[in-house]
Amino acid sequence: MKKLILAVALTIFTATTFAQDNALGLRVGSGAELQYEHMFNSGDVLKVNAGLFDFDGSLFATCIYNWECFRWTDWTPKAGNWFLQAGVGGALGIYDNGESSDFNIGIAGDVAFGIHFKGAPISLAVDYRPTLFLLNDSFGDGFGSIGLSCVFRF
């Protein structure tokens, strides 16, 4: 548990050291997660998530680098800019069913479609984040993670 918290803290510290455009928010899907984003000048995004997996007491964290695949500025020019991102990264988790607990690491992917609103520092996105766990099968729903995220940019 301490190693998971330390890994998440170091990842967030590293990302904020070079911060120019950051966001903080919530992702809700197969669990509830706190989401931190750092946007690079190229439009690429580093996403760090940590929270509950399947709302059953299991802890889960991911760090994913998303490349900006497409940006649409003319769909709804008064509302904001639409985007499509895809990326890959790592995942850590601790599964606890009350009787035993297992530590797991894995590879996570991410495909996100959303909007950066004009005139407001808010972004909304729907994403699919499949995760392949390498150590054991304690997170069996790793391929069913669809979520909705709302972040505040600062």
Q: What is the CATH number of the domain that holds 117?
A: 2.40.160
> Distance between alpha carbon 29 and the CA centroid of its chain, in Å?
11
Amino acid type, 132: L
What pLDDT does residue 18 have? 47
- The model's pLDDT over 95-122, given as tens digits with 9 standing for 90+, comes to 776 777 788 899 999 999 999 999 999 9
Task: Please tell me the total count of domains within the chain.
Answer: 1
- The model's pLDDT over 28-78, given as tens digits with 9 standing for 90+, comes to 988 899 999 999 998 899 999 999 877 777 888 999 999 999 999 888 888
What pLDDT does residue 132 have? 86
Closest CA to 112 of 141, 72, 69, 143: 69
What pLDDT does residue 2 have? 59
Residues spanned by the domain of 96? 2-16+24-153
Q: Where are the beta strands (DSSP E) in 1-100?
A: 21-28, 31-39, 45-53, 58-76, 80-96
When pLDDT is cut at 50, 70 and 90, the band that residue 19 belongs to is very low
